[in-house]
A and B are shown apart, each in its own frame.
Chain A
Amino acid sequence: MRRTRNLILTVIAVVLFAFFLDKAPEILNGYWQRILNLIAINAILALSLNLIYGITGMFSLGHAGFMAIGAYVSALLVLTPSQKNAMWILEDIYPWLLKVNTPFIASIIIAGLVAAFFGLLVALPVLRLGGDYLGIATLGFAEIIRILITNTARLTNGSLGLKGIPAYTTLFMSWGCLGVVLLCMVCMLRSNFGGVLRAVRDDEVAARMMGINTFRVKVLAFTLGCFGGGLGGALMGNLITTIDPRMFMITQTYNILMIIVVGGLGSVTGSIIGSALVTTMLEWLRFVENPITIGSINIPGIPGMRMVIFSLLLIIVIIFRREGIMGMREFTWDIFFPRRKPAPKTERPASDTVLEVRDVTLKFGGLSAIDDLSFDIKHGQIMGLIGPNGAGKTSAFNVISGFYKPTSGTINFMGQSIGGMSPDEVCKAGMSRTFQNIRLFGHETVLQNVMTGSRIRQKYSWWMTLAPFIFTDVIREDSAVKARAMDLLSQLGLEDFAYEKASSLPYGAQRRLEIARALATRPKFLLLDEPAAGMNPQESEELLQFIRRLRDEFDLTILLIEHDMKVVMNVCDYIHVLDQGVHIAQGTPDEIKANPRVIEAYLGKGAA
């Protein structure tokens, strides 16, 4: 119903816009047509950089390099042999290159693919770096690409550049490309795979615990973004008709970065609005660089002023309105209509010793965080792991869930050795966890957080999400996942929050959401790291009931770390006590309460 309405509205808007483009050459002069073209191209570039940076969270400063690749590839493919012959003056063109000639459409697709290929080459080594280093390394690659272009004259005509590229980029072409890019991107971002991308940005650690191979996802998003960069560069070359290496300096990347910052990092709508705004202003501001005559007064043009005003705007935006125009929001037709809630439904998985920890030791430098720890957990048990501060409880969790590799010892999970597996593999094997300091995908909706947890249990591949109307599996699986997520939310009493931002939830609800997300991976074994931290006594009481219910309803085995002794003593069947990395006691809650070593560990010597 809502879907059909929105589809109709979208089709109407597209048709109206196409009609406008059709009439544009008659209404608008060349100057405005050019601006309109540039808006579309810049929007493509901004969308692709936004995919890399705003959505997946990788700070890349290399976009100009990928544009350059795209522009050159396309230009070399569409220039005719006679044009090429005339242009290569200093050195001869490679004979094979002289003859190559393809239609324009093919050339821009190849341009995108070549850029994507280089993107992949860059991504594989460089994406292992994080943050600023990634920015600098990508900037370096862009610069290397530019230097290569300047120096491989037989291939690129060097610093002379290429001239007389046919002006194939018409309004329909640029906006058509934008339309396709936009459609694919929106479809992808709306699918559960899109949620995965944003999850990697919001919290990579938690995403890995949801079974996501985050490195692979980042390489993919980067490569796709580079495709967009190449495509945009190709269109740009065929619009301006002249390209040379100096066009693709770091300034070009800054321009695109400015668009996405102004529009809102992570917002598709923002990229388009930002592109329209920044492109128009950049062109319009040219007047400050041209001489103006008002009546009898002549004001000389001031070169450089345009960029001064622009850089000031960028600084002001980042200081006073960091989130840009759109923040992370998107435009939907729904803003014109009120929203209603969907409805929910249940199911269950089923073994004896679930987890077997044998002689596990974990050392950092020379210090042992865990010393020779061994214990078993049986199916259906709720086991507590307690100990004073610094006892090594969280380290034990990190070893079991694959974040740390044990220095020695073995861990068997349902008959499978998992010591040394990565968190995403551990998750696939059927284990999930929560974190002491709550690691939600804060910018995402509650529903999307849970759906991200289900991604590893879905079968479709990422590329199908680019065209879900063809690969209907995407739609079918996503709606199944959504239904299950809603179901989980209602079981945990979170259904009213489904469309709220996760970070806006009250604290107790965030804790439950983290558990819901963990359950979405369909675990058989759940690790809870201090679920009662920060809760008041009444909330802790509710939590007690909730943990028992979890075990029964989801047929789970649970291991929990907790400081709130009321919770531990009341909910656990069996308790292990660590102190300074050493396993000092085990037993039922009553045994533990009476154990002198435990009392001493907690209250100090002489307390027992």
Chain B
Amino acid sequence: MEAMLKVDGLNVNYGAIHAVRDVSLEINRGEIVTLIGANGAGKSSVIRSIMGLTKSTAREMTYISPRDSKPVNIQGKPAEEHVKLGISLSPEGRRILPQLTVEENLTLGAYIRDDADGIRDDMEYVYSLFPRLKERHKQKGGTLSGGEQQMLAVGRALMSRPDLLMLDEPSLGLAPVLVDEVFAIIREINAQGRTILLVEQNAFAALKAAHRAYVLEVGAVSLSGTGPELLDNPKVRAAYLGG
């Protein structure tokens, strides 16, 4: 299997707080990898560091684009460069631009692209994944329900045609029915050839969807393995509910 992202010895400090301690992980092309753990375990900090939104230090942070298979050191690069390399992020809390319409939010997601036809096709593709968004394409982002906003955030992240799609808590605040729907769509996106890094608190849904997983506890990786392996591991439960 070809590696796509290699992170080695990642550390994040916020002032006196050591939020991420020496985290290493690897993502292979075509995989769904999930990073699970209780609240405050440092999951978002890891994904934000990879995206270049949070200051971090690492021994290595390399991205190998499937477009040219050249390894690029992405440490210290600003977020906008990442998008051009083919990485995109659907951030925690959705971060929909509330005053822009659904369509404008999606167009913004395709900011780095100039192929009007391709953008139109991708917008149709997003609408086919989330038909609800099509119905509301002229509505302002802020007027959508939580679930619709989540769909919009995922759709927006897809608009840059990323090779690596990172999703931060896509199930947060969603009703259980919707959670299933979101995970089904994540699998579908993956089946169409995109690699996915998924950060989740909803461990069981994430583990069922993922090929491999890392469990984060107080900023450090405490456990890793394939999805099915971890599903039955009692240590996972302990990581959430305190053994």
Tell me the residues in window 205-241 of chain B with beta carbons closer than 8 Å to chain A beta carbons: 205-206, 208, 218-219, 236-237, 240-241
Which B170-209 residues have a C-beta within 8 angstroms of A?
171-173, 176, 179-180, 201-206, 208
Write out the residue numbers on chain B whose beta carbons fall within 8 Å of the beta carbon of A603: 202-204, 236-237, 240-241
Encoded as 1 (CB less than 8 Å from any A CB) or 0, chain B from 153 to 173 comes to 000000000000000010111
Q: Which residues of A contact B40 (CB under 8 A)?
A: 530, 533-534, 563-564
The chain A residue sitting closest to B42, CB to CB, is A534
Partner of A604, one of B203, B218, B242: B203
Among A100-108, A333-341, A519-527, A565-573, the one that faces the other chain is A565-573
Q: CB-defined interface of A159-182 with B at 8 Å, one 1/0 digit per residue?
A: 000000000000000000000000
Tell me, in angstroms, the Cα distance from A569 to B240 when the chains sit together: 12
Tell me the complex Cα distance, A197–B179, Å. 49
**Interchain CB contact under 8 A, A563 and B39:** yes
In the complex formed, the residue of A with least CB distance to B205 is: A604
Closest-by-CB residue of B relative to A539 is B218
| Bound CA–CA A332/B242 (angstroms) | 52
Looking across the interface, which residue of chain A has its beta carbon closest to that of B183?
A604
A3 is an interface residue with CB less than 8 A from chain B: no
Is the beta-carbon distance between A389 and B204 smaller than 8 angstroms?
no
Q: Is A445 an interface residue (CB 8 A)?
A: no
A580 x B237 contact (CB < 8 A) = no
Give the residue name and chain of the A residue nearest to B15 (CB). Answer: A507
Q: Are A536 and B16 in contact (CB under 8 A)?
A: no
- Closest A residue to B173 using CB positions: A390
B23 within 8 A of A: no
B18 within 8 A of A: yes
Q: Which of A389, A510, A537, A570 contacts B16, CB < 8 Å?
A: A510
Nearest-CB distance from B229 to chain A (Å)? 16
Q: Is A606 at the interface (CB under 8 A from chain B)?
A: yes
Within 8 Å of chain A (Cβ to Cβ): is B126?
A: no
A575-608: contact bitstring with B at CB < 8 Å (1 yes, 0 no)? 0000010000000000001000011001111110
Q: Is the CB of B173 within 8 A of A565?
A: no
Out of A390, A505, A530, A565, name the residue touching B172 (CB < 8 Å): A390
Is residue B17 within 8 Å, beta carbon to beta carbon, of the partner chain? yes
Given A390-B173, A564-B40, A593-B241, A534:B17 Cβ within 8 A:
yes
Residues of A within 8 Å of B240, CB to CB, are 565, 602-603
Q: How far is the CA of A534 from the CA of B176 in the complex (A)?
A: 30
Q: Is B38 an interface residue (CB 8 A)?
A: yes
Q: In the complex, A598→B240 CA distance in Å?
A: 11
Known A-B contacts A537-B218, A602-B241, A604-B205; the reply to A389 vs B39 at CB < 8 A is: yes
| Smallest CB gap from B238: residue in A | A565
Which of A389, A536, A564, A568 gathers the greatest number of chain B CB atoms within 10 Å?
A389
B51 near A: Cβ within 8 Å?
no
In this assembly, does B19 line the interface, its C-beta being within 8 Å of a C-beta of chain A?
yes
Chain A residues contacting B171 (CB-CB under 8 Å) are 604
A interface residues, how many (CB within 8 angstroms): 30
Please, which residues of chain B bring their CB within 8 A of the CB of A598? 241
Contacts of B205 in A (CB 8 A): 604-606
- Chain B residues whose C-beta falls within 8 Å of the C-beta of A537 in the assembled complex: 218
Given that A389-B169, A389-B201, A604-B179 are contacting pairs, would A534 and B19 also be in contact in the complex, using a CB cutoff of 8 Å? yes
Q: Find out whether the CB atom of A604 lies under 8 angstroms from the CB atom of B204.
A: yes
Contacts of B180 in A (CB 8 A): 605
Q: Contact at A568–B242, with CB atoms within 8 Å?
A: yes
**Bound state CA distance, A142 and B9, in angstroms?**
58
Q: What is the CB-to-nearest-CB distance from A607 to chain B, in angstroms, rounded to a whole number?
A: 4
Map CB proximity to A onto B6-18 as digits: 1 under 8 Å, 0 otherwise: 0000000011111
> In the complex where A388-B39, A580-B173 touch, is A565 in contact with B242 (Cβ < 8 A)?
yes
Query: Residue among A530, A567, A604 with the most chain B CB within 10 A?
Result: A604
Q: Is A506 among interface residues, defined by CB-CB distance under 8 A?
A: yes
CA distance A566 to B240 in the complex (A): 9
Nearest residue, chain A, Cβ from B174: A580
Distance from B143 Cβ to chain A, minimum over Cβ atoms (Å) = 10
Q: Within 8 Å CB of A566, what residues of B?
A: 242-243
Q: What B residues does A505 contact at CB under 8 A?
A: 16
B18-74 with Cβ < 8 A to chain A: 18-19, 38-40
Q: Nearest-CB distance from B11 to chain A (Å)?
A: 13
Whether A565 contacts B241 in the complex (CB less than 8 A), given A604-B179, A605-B176, comes out as yes
Residue of B nearest to A365 (CB): B142
When distances are taken between beta carbons in the complex, the residues of chain A under 8 Å from B16 are 505-507, 510
Quote the shortest CB–CB distance from B235 to chain A (angstroms): 13
Chain A residue, CB-CB nearest to B237: A603
Q: Which A106-121 residues have C-beta < 8 A from chain B?
A: none
Q: Is the CB of A607 within 8 A of B204?
A: yes
Q: Assess the B218–A536 pair: CB atoms within 8 A.
A: yes
Closest to B175 in A: A580
Return chain B residues, CB-CB under 8 Å to A388: 39, 201
A530 to B40 CA separation, bound complex (whole angstroms) = 10
A contact residues around B18 at 8 Å (CB): 536
Between A and B, 20 residue pairs with Cβ closer than 8 Å are: A388-B39, A389-B39, A389-B169, A507-B15, A507-B16, A530-B40, A534-B17, A536-B218, A536-B219, A566-B242, A568-B242, A593-B241, A599-B241, A602-B240, A602-B241, A603-B241, A604-B205, A604-B206, A605-B176, A606-B205
| Residues of chain A at the chain B interface (Cβ within 8 Å) | 388-390, 505-507, 510, 530, 533-534, 536-537, 563-570, 580, 593, 598-599, 602-607
